[in-house]
Amino acid sequence: MKQKIKIAVLGGGGRTGKYLVNNLINRGFQIKLLLRKPEEFQIKSSLIEIIKGDSTDPEAICNLVQSCQAVISTVGQRPGEPLVASQAVMNVLEAMDKFGLKRFISMAGLNVDTPFDKKSAETSLATEWMKTNFSEIHADRQKAYSILSASEVDWTLVRVPFIEFLDAAGELAVNLEDCLSNKINAGNLAVFLADQLFDETYIRKSPFVASI
């Protein structure tokens, strides 16, 4: 029954995205991927359907989300491009409303603040560094969180530290108040993201997830 649902994926051509796509395929999910450059995408599977388009384009997101039952986004800001995070969230929520979807799992850095945080000195320092050096990107991520919080869908915003692009190994520390280490393996992260599809623990929450 679980394998019957189709997942819409944003950012699936990115570094974390590829780990996620492989994980979803290995679990037998059908997936729809929104890609700006499909010709550069290497993973081949009969379970993959590709939609060409940009996450800031509401019509492209509608094409992506149609016929899916859940959405996962690993979209990340590219330098010098228009801000993507809050616009992508708005587009996804609009499409989810149109097609009656409930589950949306998205990603952010540990710099996003929520009212439930009790960030350690180290996490606070990393947050301040982002605010100082990438103020617009930080503000856009914060806006994306506000939009999600105000929405009525079953969202989870997974907050992570520095990602190492390695296969799953070791254990994960998941915490709602602080990030418990300064890195995470992309393989472990992909497992956590995909697990959220059928886990209600973090619905409407923003867990910090890190490797220990």
Ligand X SMILES: NC(=O)c1ccc[n+]([C@@H]2O[C@H](COP(=O)([O-])OP(=O)(O)OC[C@H]3O[C@@H](n4cnc5c(N)ncnc54)[C@H](OP(=O)(O)O)[C@@H]3O)[C@@H](O)[C@H]2O)c1
* Binding residues for ligand X (CB under 6 A): 11, 13-17, 36-37, 54-56, 74-76, 78, 84, 107, 109, 160, 162-163
Q: Is the CB of residue 141 less than 8 Å from the CB of residue 114? A: no
CA quadruple 162, 190, 119, 109: dihedral sign:
positive
Q: Smallest distance, Å, CB 45 to ligand X?
A: 17
DSSP 3: G
Dump the DSSP string for 127-189: HHHHHHHSHHHHHHHHHHHHHHHHS-SEEEEEEESEEE-----S-EEEESS---SSEEEHHHH
- Of the two residues 68 and 163, which places its CB atom closer to ligand X in the complex? 163
Q: Smallest distance, Å, CB 163 to ligand X?
A: 4
DSSP 77: P
- Of the two residues 2 and 128, which places its CB atom closer to ligand X in the complex? 128
Q: Smallest distance, Å, CB 97 to ligand X?
A: 20
Q: Residue with the closest Cβ to ligand X?
A: 14
Q: Smallest distance, Å, CB 164 to ligand X?
A: 8
- Of the two residues 15 and 205, which places its CB atom closer to ligand X in the complex? 15
Q: How far apart are CA 42 and CA 18, in angstroms?
A: 9
Helix axes 135-150, 121-133, angle to 10 degrees: 110
- Of the two residues 13 and 207, which places its CB atom closer to ligand X in the complex? 13
Q: Smallest distance, Å, CB 4 to ligand X?
A: 26
- Of the two residues 74 and 142, which places its CB atom closer to ligand X in the complex? 74
